Amino acid sequence: MTIFSKKQTEVKQMIDTYLDKVDSCIRQFRDSMMRFLVNGCTREFIWDVEKAHKFESEADDLRRKIQMTLYGKALLPDSRGDLLTLLEFYDRIPSAAEDALFLTRILCMDIPEELLEDLEKLVEINVDAYRLIRECMNALFENPHETLYQTRGVDAKESESDRLERSIVERVFKSDMATGKMMLLKELVQTIGEISNRAENTADRISIVAIKRQI
């Protein structure tokens, strides 16, 4: 197997590094959002956003490197195409986290006290959705028979996030805050929820990759 596996081992190692980078980005997202929800738009929070951005762009660079290695015929065209598409989908998750952080930083708004708990919960659900998709990726590379079972968990988290998003938005619009603020809060909630949406899309891709390899 050695004549074929050298490049594959290289790609696998790069993917592992990439996934670790995305893990760091999402961890940073969670810590930053929690800091924001507790302390507001502080200097530390802005510094945290920069850190998350750094992780995201490092992950992006790694993904491009993987792409180039894959184009260098590391895998069969079919596997190459599947892996490239999958990474493209996966990469949208840290982008969503970064978008949410940037929006939070730009808005720098005061969050009404009664929404804080739900927003924290929303962040946790979306981070959980990411954790599950990460497990799906591990399953795909280590125990493919488990993959389809694992992807169901991501769907469940996405639905949970959707329900909470709707409930928060409903409460925002029932409140007496200014319409502009309502709209901005709605956007912030939806941007955070985008993480689990993208995790669900990635889960669908992972299922396709796994099913295609079951004959």
Partner 1 sequence: MWQIISAVFLGWSLGANHTANVFGTAVASRMIRFWTAAIVCAVFVLLGALLQGQAGMATYRAMAGVSLNAAFLVALCSALTITLMTYLKFPVSVSQAVVGSLVSIGLLEGNFHWEVLVKVVICWIGTPLGGMIFAIILYFLVGKFMNGLNLNLFQHDRYLRWCLMVVGGYGAYALGANNVANVTGTFTGPGMLTPFHACLIGGLSIGFGVLTYGKKVIMTVGKEIVRLDGYTAFIVILAEAITVHIYAGIGVPVSTSQAVVGGVMGIGLVKGVSTVNLKRLYQIFYAWIGTPAISFTITFLLYLMFSRLGLL
Least separation in angstroms between residue 165's CB and partner 1 is: 33
Q: Per CB under 8 A, does 77 bind partner 1? A: yes
Q: Other CB atoms closer than 10 Å to residue 204's CB: what's the count? A: 13
d(C-alpha 128, C-alpha 195), whole Å: 10
Q: Per CB under 8 A, does 163 bind partner 1? A: no
Q: State which residue, 126 or 147, has the beta carbon closest to partner 1.
A: 147
Q: Per CB under 8 A, does 123 bind partner 1? A: no
H or E element, residue 28: helix 2-39
Q: State which residue, 1 or 178, has the beta carbon closest to partner 1.
A: 1
Stretch that binds partner 1, among 54-62, 160-168, 184-192, 205-213 (CB under 8 A): 205-213
d(C-alpha 187, C-alpha 75), whole Å: 41
- Show the tokens assigned to 195: 């993480």
Q: Per CB under 8 A, does 149 bind partner 1? A: no
Q: Is 40 left (phi over 0), alpha (psi -120 to 50) or beta?
A: left
d(C-alpha 165, C-alpha 187), whole Å: 10
Least separation in angstroms between residue 96's CB and partner 1 is: 25
Q: Per CB under 8 A, does 12 bind partner 1? A: yes
Stretch that binds partner 1, among 8-16, 47-55, 60-68, 167-175 (CB under 8 A): 8-16
Phi, psi angle pair for 175, to nearest 5°: -80, 175
Least separation in angstroms between residue 134's CB and partner 1 is: 16
Give the interface size with partner 1 as a residue count (CB under 8 A): 25
Q: Per CB under 8 A, does 8 bind partner 1? A: yes
Q: Torsion angle of alpha carbons 196, 123, 109, 181, nearest 10°? A: 50
